[in-house]
Amino acid sequence: MFSTNPYYTLTESVAPIFMQVFVITMIALIVLGTVMDMIHKKNVKYFFDNAKKAKKNAVKTLSTSERIKVLSKTVVSDIATTSELGAGKRRAAHVMGMYGTILFWISTVVMVFMYTSPSSVTPDIWPILWHVGGILTVLGGCWFWFFLRVDVYSEAQPWYRIIKADLFVLALIATSLFGIIWSYLQNMNLGNRWDDKVFLIFYVIANLILFGGVYWSKFAHMFYKPGAAIQKNLAEADGSRDNLPPEADGPEQFGLGIKREEPKHY
């Protein structure tokens, strides 16, 4: 199963062009949902206005090499390893889900566009990356959703309470989970049985919800967060401090009470 391109097997019943059009439609839905979200929240306008204001408060003009240094640090630390989430389970779960998803999406695009023609032979690496990516996404996503999300971890809500904010993570888990089950059942060669077809339909529906729901879900954070991290680190380096007052020049003494409980009330 791990070395079988599920989309190639699917060409026995679905023409590659349909799969390719489906992928392009999903990409178009991401663009549409993100643009609608930006227009609705006006966050990009706020972001640039804020950056302009911060520039005026800068105490230092950064040279090109200093800017490159800040940008590289942001890419390596803030973006590639989501350092914003600190050292711990939250960050580990996010990194698993993030890289799992990236592998799953890239290998999907490669297999659907390059290895679905009758004469093509898929190198083993692509289906392996697809399955491993899917499994990582399910593990990271479930870890986050069942144990770490704020409602459960900090607010003591039961794990089965589902709200609109869960749309993104649940749709993300569902796409990978249904995709892997579909691939497994299809690989079992069950002939005309219904099993793999049902999971293919679930896989398609989960994708429609994930990509069609960008406007309503947290999907677009994967574009906003890197921009915000770059802005934050530049503001720290040029002294504008995001228009915040300077740090207090006092000792960090908060009393013993601060040690009573691990901070988890976000």
Kindly state the smallest distance separating residue 219's Cβ from ligand HEM, in Å. 8
Q: Which is nearer to ligand HEM, 19 or 93 (CB)?
A: 93
- If one asks whether residue 225 binds ligand HEM (CB under 6 A), the answer comes out as yes
Kindly state the smallest distance separating residue 75's Cβ from ligand HEM, in Å. 9
Burial-class residue 20 by CB neighbours within 10 Å (0-12, 13-18, 19+). Answer: middle
- If one asks whether residue 90 binds ligand HEM (CB under 6 A), the answer comes out as yes
Q: Which is nearer to ligand HEM, 112 or 210 (CB)?
A: 210
Please state the length of the chain: 266
Kindly state the smallest distance separating residue 145's Cβ from ligand HEM, in Å. 7
- If one asks whether residue 172 binds ligand HEM (CB under 6 A), the answer comes out as yes
Kindly state the smallest distance separating residue 45's Cβ from ligand HEM, in Å. 21
Q: Which is nearer to ligand HEM, 197 or 232 (CB)?
A: 232
- If one asks whether residue 144 binds ligand HEM (CB under 6 A), the answer comes out as yes
Q: Which is nearer to ligand HEM, 32 or 102 (CB)?
A: 102
- If one asks whether residue 102 binds ligand HEM (CB under 6 A), the answer comes out as yes
Q: Which residues contact ligand HEM (rule: CB under 6 A)?
A: 78-79, 82, 84-85, 90, 94, 97-98, 101-102, 141, 144, 149-150, 165-166, 168-169, 172, 218, 221-222, 225-226, 229
